[in-house]
Structure 1
Amino acid sequence: MTGPSGLLDATPGPVLPQALETLAAAHSLAWADPTARHAAGRRSRALLDRAREVVAAGLAVRPDEVTFHASGDQAARSALEALARGRRRLGGPVVASAVEHSSILRWLRAGERPPSLVAVSPTGAVDLAAWAEAVDAQTPFAVLQSANQEVGTRQPLAEARAVTRAAGVPLLVDARAGLGRDAVPTDFDVLVGDATSWGGPRLGVLVVRTGTRVAPHHPPSPHEGGFALDPVEVPTALAAAEAWQQVTAHQQDEGGRARALVDRIRSAAADLEDVDVVGDPQDRLPHVCTFSVLYVDGETIVDELARRGLAVASGSACTADTLEPSHVLAAMGALTQGNVRITLPLDAVVPDREAAVERLVAELGDVVRQCRERIAAGH
C-alpha cells in the first residue's frame, strides 16, 4: 500500500506498509492486557517490552526511561504535568520559545503563572541571550523543540541545555517534528515524540532521563509507570517499533533525497516575485519547507494546487483549524497570510513524491499568478 499521488502534506503521512503488516499480525498475538498474569497477558507484556527496547535503543536511552502514550499530544501533556508536579515548589514561570507547538503553548498559558516566552530570530531559532536571561534557579522547567514543525529550523539544543543545566533546570525537548527524519536529539532531560513522524501509527513516546525530578499522575495510574492514564495498545507499539527500524535503516539516504527535493521547492519559490521563503536555509529539517506569498491568501493557493492534484497545507501546522494564522510565522516577523507549507512524506509510502515536487515546481508560478489575478478581480 502506498500513499495518494501528489501528497506533499505528511502531517501525518501514511503508515509504512511493513508497520501496517505488523499491526495486523499483532492483533492476533498481543490482544491481551499486558498487566494480566495469564499466559496471553504475559505474551503481550513480552511483546510490549520488545517494542520499548527497540524505540529506546533508537533514542539511545534506557528502556525503563521510555513510556508509550495514545498520541504525541498526550505524551507532551504527560511530560508537562509530570514536570510541573515534580517542580511545583519553585515560584518562577516556565520558560519556552515563542514558536513551540500550539498544544504546549495552550497548556502553559492555562497554568497559574503565564510562561516566559523567549523570542526567536527571523529564521525561527531561539534567541540564546534572551533564553539565558529568562532561565534561573526558580524556573520549574524549560521547553524547547528540536526543530520547528512549520519552517523546519533546528533549535540550538546543546547551547540551550547548557544554560538550563547550569541553573539546575530540566529541559523538555519536543521532537515530534523530526524523530525518524533527522538526527536524534541528545541534549534533553525529557523528550517527547510521535510515531507518526517516522511512518508509524499514532503513538506518543515520552522519555524521562533517570534522575529528572518528575511526579507521575495523582491519584496513581497503573499504566506506563504512572505516566499514562490509558493502557497502551500493544499492536500499535509493535507497529511503531517496526516503522522505526524500517525508517532508521535508510534515514541517511532518505534525508538526502528529501533535502534535495526541498531545495528545489525553496529555489522555485524564491525565484517568484514577492514570495518569501522562510526558515533557516541550511540548519533545518530535510523534509519541511514553507514560503509566504504576498497579495494572496494561503487557502486560495492550497485550493488551486489541490485542483491540480497536489496536496499541500497552509496556516498553522499544529492547530485543529488549518486556516488559523501561524503563531510561528508571527513570532518570526514573517508574513502570516499567503503561506504554503510542504511536509514531504517518506519515499517508502509515496513513491511518486519526486514527480509531485517536479509538478509543483513547474506549476507554482502559474498558480501564484492566477490566484493573484483572482484576488485582484474580487473573486
Structure 2
Amino acid sequence: MTIISASYLDAASAEPLHPAARDVLEAALARGWADPRRRHAPGRDARLLLDNARAAIAECLEVDPEEVGFTASGTSAVHRGLLGLTASSGRGGIVHTAVEHSAVLHALAWREHDAHAAVGVDRTGRVDVEALAAAARVDGVGAVAVQAGNQEIGTLQPVDELDVPAGVPVFMDAAAAVGRGPLPRRWSVLAASARKWGGPSGVGVLVVRRGTRWRNPFPGEDAVDESPFPDVPAALAAAAALQAVLAESAETAPRQHALIDRARAALAEVPDLELVGDPVHRLPHVLTFSCLYVAGDELVDALARRGYAVASGSACTASTLEPSHVLAAVGALTHGNVRVSVGRDTEEADVDGLCRAVTEIVADIRSREGL
C-alpha cells in the first residue's frame, strides 16, 4: 500500500502527475504504442502524437519544434546537451558555476582530463558574471554551464547578463525553473525534466537552438532525441502537463512565492536557524534552511512522522552522505539542512503547520542533547 504524506512539500524533487497529463497519458496509450518511424497506420499515429508533443513543448519554451528532443531523463538531457557542445568543437573545457546540479558535475567527470573551471558564487548563491566571463575566455573552453535556478536553494542565475566570448555556447540546466516563471533567453542548449512540472517520470527535454554546433557525444544516431523510438504517450503527457502548468502560472507562482515568504518569516524566529538562498531573486517554490546542532536526517524523519514530506541535504547527493556542494559554495551550514518546496495544492495551513513542527522538533532535539 502506498502512503501519501498529508503535506507533500518536496515538489522540487517531483510534482505529482498533473491531471491534464493523466488524461492525455491514458488516451495516448491506446494510440501511441507503435514505432513512430514506420509508415503503417499505427506508426503514423505514433508519429503524429510525437510531433504534437514536440510542437507543444516548443511553443511552451518559445523555440522551434525541430530544436526539441526527448531523452530518458533530465539527467540524460544534461549529459547529452553539455557534452554534445564540447564534442562538436573539440574544446573539452567547461566553465560552470559552483552550484550546478550534480548531473553537470558528473558530466565534467566524464571528461575529467579537460581543463574545467568552477566559478564561485556569493552568499545568496548568485554567480560572479565577470569572473565567469573571464574564465570562459581561457583557451580550450568549449562551453559554459549556468543553471536557470538552483534546485536546492532556489536562487536564480543572471543568465541573460552573461558576456561570454563568441563561439563559446551557454548550456542552461532549466530543470528546476521550467513552468515556474519566465526563462532566460541567452542560451544555446537547454535541458529540463518533465517530472519537475507534473509530467511523467522518465521524460527529459533537450533543446538545441538552430545554428548551435552540437553532436551526440555518445554512441548512436547524431540526433537531439536520445532514442529513435521514444516513449510517445509519456512525451505527449509531459507536453500537456507543461501547457497546463503555464496556463496556471499567473495564479500559482505568486501564491507559491507568498507561501515561501510566509515560511521564511516564521522560521526566522527559530534560534540558530539559517535561511539559505536569495530571498527575492529566487524560484517561487523553494526554501532551504539549516539548523545548528540538529542532524538533517533526524529532522526530516521527525517531520515525516508528523505528516510533512520534505528533503534533506542536496537533492542530488544525499544518497552519497557527502555534504552538499551547493551549501558549501554559499558558505552555509552543511548539516541540519532541510529543503521545503511547495506544489500546486499546498496551502497556508500546510506551511504554518510545518513551521510549528520545525520549531517544536528543533527545540526537542536540542533539549535532549542538553543544548
TM-score, with structure 1 as normaliser:
0.92
In 2, Cα distance between equivalents of 1:47 and 1:28: 11
- 1:197 maps to which residue? 196
Cα RMSD after superposing both structures: 1.9
In 2, Cα distance between equivalents of 1:126 and 1:218: 30
Counterpart of 2:319, as a letter, is D
Confirm or deny: 8 A CA contact 2:207 2:224 kept in the other structure: no
In 2, Cα distance between equivalents of 1:15 and 1:219: 32
- 1:125 maps to which residue? 126
Change (3 A) 1:320 1:238: farther
Give SS of 2:8's match: coil
Which region of structure 1 is more displaced relative to structure 2, 60-69 or 227-236?
227-236
Confirm or deny: 8 A CA contact 1:181 1:197 kept in the other structure: no
The Cα offsets for residues 265-320 of structure 1, whole Å up to 9 and x where unpaired, read as 11111111111101001000000000111111111111111111111111111236
In 1, Cα distance between equivalents of 2:204 and 2:53: 13
Gaps in structure 2 of 5+ consecutive residues:
none
Give SS of 2:229's match: coil
- 2:9 maps to which residue? 8
Counterpart of 2:286, as a letter, is V
Change (3 A) 1:237 1:126: same
Give SS of 1:321's match: helix
1:366 paired to 2:360: yes
Aligned residue pairs total 365
Give how far 1:217 is off: 4.8
In 2, Cα distance between equivalents of 1:114 and 1:105: 13
Confirm or deny: 8 A CA contact 1:315 1:322 kept in the other structure: no
Give SS of 2:172's match: strand
Which region of structure 1 is more displaced relative to structure 2, 108-117 or 189-198?
108-117
Give how far 1:185 is off: 2.6
Give how far 1:261 is off: 0.6
1:257 paired to 2:255: yes
Confirm or deny: 8 A CA contact 1:264 1:361 kept in the other structure: no
In 2, Cα distance between equivalents of 1:322 and 1:346: 30
Counterpart of 2:9, as a letter, is L
Change (3 A) 1:264 1:136: same
Give how far 1:110 is off: 3.1
In 2, Cα distance between equivalents of 1:218 and 1:4: 40
- 2:95 maps to which residue? 95
In 2, Cα distance between equivalents of 1:147 and 1:219: 31
- 1:236 maps to which residue? 234
The Cα offsets for residues 222-255 of structure 1, whole Å up to 9 and x where unpaired, read as 8xx3541463100001100110111111102100
Give SS of 2:81's match: helix
Q: How does 1:192-341 map to 2 (within 5 A)?
A: 192-202=191-201, 203-217=203-217, 219-221=219-221, 225=223, 227-229=225-227, 231-319=229-317, 321=319, 323-341=321-339
1:183 paired to 2:182: yes
- The share of aligned pairs that are identical, in percent, is 47
Give how far 1:175 is off: 0.3
Confirm or deny: 8 A CA contact 1:109 1:115 kept in the other structure: no
Give how far 1:198 is off: 1.2
In 1, Cα distance between equivalents of 2:76 and 2:370: 44
1:41 paired to 2:35: no
Q: How does 1:146-157 map to 2 (within 5 A)?
A: 146-157=148-159
Give SS of 2:309's match: coil
Gaps in structure 1 of 5+ consecutive residues:
none
Give SS of 1:94's match: strand
Q: How does 1:46-195 map to 2 (within 5 A)?
A: 46-88=48-90, 90=91, 93-111=93-111, 112-136=113-137, 138=139, 139-160=141-162, 163-164=163-164, 166-195=165-194
Confirm or deny: 8 A CA contact 2:294 2:335 kept in the other structure: yes
In 1, Cα distance between equivalents of 2:218 and 2:295: 46
Which region of structure 1 is more displaced relative to structure 2, 317-326 or 178-187?
317-326
Change (3 A) 1:76 1:230: farther
Change (3 A) 1:257 1:79: same
In 1, Cα distance between equivalents of 2:51 and 2:158: 33
TM-score, with structure 2 as normaliser:
0.94
Confirm or deny: 8 A CA contact 1:82 1:227 kept in the other structure: no
